[in-house]
Amino acid sequence: MPDFANKTVLVTGSTRGIGRAIALLLAEQGALVGIHGRTEAAARAVCTEIETLGGCAIPLAADFADPEEATRVTERFLARAGRLDALVNNAGGGKARAFRGLSLAGWRQSFALNVEAALLASQAAYGSMRSQRDGAIVNIASLAAHGPGQWMGADYAAAKAALASLTRSLAFEAARFGIRVNAVSPGMIETDMTATLTPTMREALAIPLGRLGRPDEVAAAVSFLLSNDAAYVAGHILHVNGGLGMGG
């Protein structure tokens, strides 16, 4: 198991689903974790859960519908934790919608939440990490970033594709300062976003491994990329999708 003792990690969008699983695992591995959610109550609930298990966490509330809140959350965590060793840009979301139903305002909202917030959080973390000559950033992209976005709207797919591209661009620039930047692209994971799938719809997905993934399986991939076990991994997009889409 990776050891994050004496490490500080901010996980955005960490009050439920994949983000919560990432935060719980990193706390179990010894990290001081920043828990971000839209409300103080949601963030504190996960912090209490972590503290009950013997870990340490800092609650941070902000709505990334205004992406500039991502800068403020990162700066607040850095001020309270004293340093920032790693950042996980997990906050995001979208809805399945037909192309004909897209509006320019909705498109911009999707990019604000899924790309701009990650950009600004990374910029806020980058200065501190450069000073340390050390750090790691993991962006949570999506299977939708690498294909036609057939399960989500074109806005979500395009935003996640932009996040994957941002990952590679920042990785190239940051590597010289000892900062590693990577991404994880989850496939169909058991979260509230997939809770409405019927058994027939799940079967129709034809996932080679025969099931949806679990949030803790995505968390394990993130933990690896943040850890010293991945010390020579930069600019990589790690797919955690049960083999879905491997043919294209």
* Start-to-end CA span in the chain (Å): 33
For the CA atoms of 28, 84, 178, 68, the dihedral, rounded to the nearest 10 degrees, stands at 120
CB 139, CB 117: distance < 8 Å: no
Active site residue 156: yes
The helix/strand count (H/E) of the chain reads as 8, 7
Element (H, E) at 8: strand 8-11
| Catalytic residue selected from 4, 64, 151, 156 | 156
What is the total residue count of the chain?
248
CB 140, CB 189: distance < 8 Å: no
User: Catalytic amino acids?
Assistant: 156
